[in-house]
Amino acid sequence: MLNWKEVLRLGKEGNLTPDKRVEKSPQEWQELLSDEEFRVTRQAGTERAFSSQMCTQFEAGLYECVCCGTLLFDATEKFDSGTGWPSFTQPIQSNAIAYNADHSHGMTRVETVCNTCDAHLGHVFPDGPSPSGLRYCMNAVALKKVH
């Protein structure tokens, strides 16, 4: 189980090797994604808080990257953070997510990206529930619910 100390270490020393890599040009991504999906995932945008019903849906299932289809989260790790974005306590695999220091907007945060295709997903914070203490705060448009 990942914890905050491990997330910081990965972001600083290097992320785990993904099972595969998917690389496309910006033009190729733009052809595959909606305008909002492209803005969020390929240009590190953020969707409006409370703009998706995904925040209040807790049915069983898996969530994959909207860009490349890599499985990222299991609904059993999803919780209501009250933030307006879907939140999870753990990724489905330790190497599914990559971590980058984000010093934008006058603060320091840890950006989460799909480790397979580098899609911006959101951020991870150390204020989640036990036992991990992590809150993966994701943009709903970056995820696709499957199964």
Catalytic residues: 137
Q: What is the pTM of this model?
A: 0.94
pLDDT of residue 35: 97
Q: Assign residue 106 the CATH number of its domain.
A: 2.170.150.20
Query: 103 lies in which domain range?
Result: 4-146
Q: Could you read off the pLDDT of 68-111 as tens digits, one per residue?
A: 999 999 999 999 999 999 999 999 999 999 999 877 777 778 99
pLDDT of residue 138: 97
Average pLDDT across the chain, whole number: 94
Q: Residue 44 — left, alpha, or beta (φ > 0 → left; ψ -120 to 50 → alpha)?
A: left
Number of domains in the chain: 1
pLDDT of residue 104: 74
Kindly state the helix (H) or strand (E) to which residue 124 belongs, with its residue range: strand 120-125
**For range 50-64, the mean pLDDT:** 92
